[in-house]
Copies of this chain bind each other. A is one copy, B any other.
């Protein structure tokens, strides 16, 4: 028997092919019978069945005995406007959904070179680092890591934990208003930890936004690295 040359098992490869076919619409509505798929992918029907089982567990497919296997329509992506005054709660409420969030982790770190440049502080400066999860109607949409000056915002962790909102936490720390200065975007694969928090398949994709928020004097107050689940939302920029 031929080995799995690239370290990925056959059922997994078939599963990925099916997932891609569903995503690009070439497999619409109803899947061909297992026997036909087995022939098409040159694998045993067991292998096809295992691939289907995984996708069914993820909610993409639904197998009905005697009838066939069907493609579940995916939820549409939630539009997420990004601008100078982006606020997660407002964006979610604007779509008639219930926003929510929770603190995953908080710790104190020292600024590395990259963060120091973003926050315009000295490398090694003490920072609060927060890992937060953001949900709409109970569905996880994004995970964010944010860095704040520990000197300027000593109680930010406590304030966030109590209020569940960055805007409100900063207000309690004396900052009445802030705005987004810059957003940089790339795409990445989900890290295992993020996949866990987002209740997502580990081979999903995220839009990674690295952003700087500044106060009224244009001084950075927050560095932010947000991983948006690419299947669940799309970022919208109005120019």
With contact pairs A20-B191, A205-B188, A230-B187 given, residues A11 and B6 touching in the complex (Cβ less than 8 Å): no
A236 touches B8 (CB 8 A): no
A188→B235 contact, CB < 8 A: no
Q: Complex: how many Å from CA A79 to CA B114?
A: 16
Contact A24 B191 (CB under 8 A): yes
Interface residues on A, range: 35 or more
B15, A179: Cβ atoms under 8 Å? no
Given contacts A8-B8, A24-B191, contact A186 B207 (CB under 8 A): yes
Q: Are A185 and B185 in contact (CB under 8 A)?
A: yes
Query: Is A181's beta carbon under 8 Å from chain B?
Result: yes
Give chain B residues whose Cβ lies under 8 Å from the Cβ of A189. 20, 205
Chain B residues whose CB sits within 8 angstroms of the CB of A179 once the complex forms: 239
| Chain B CB within 8 A of A84 CB | yes
Q: A163 at the A/B interface (Cβ < 8 Å)? A: no
Asked if B8 and A12 sit within 8 Å, CB to CB, the answer is yes
A235 to B82, CA, bound (A): 13
A84 proximity list for chain B (CB < 8 A) = 239
Interface residues as binary, A74-94 with B (CB distance below 8 Å gives 1, 0 otherwise): 000101001110000000000
A residues neighboring B (CB under 8 Å): 4, 6-9, 11-12, 15, 20, 23-25, 54, 77, 79, 82-84, 114, 179-189, 191, 202, 205-207, 230, 233-239
Contacts beyond the supplied A6-B202, A24-B191, A185-B185: 18 A-B pairs with Cβ under 8 Å: A4-B9, A7-B11, A7-B12, A7-B15, A7-B54, A8-B8, A20-B189, A79-B184, A84-B239, A181-B238, A184-B236, A185-B207, A185-B236, A186-B234, A187-B187, A187-B206, A187-B230, A188-B205
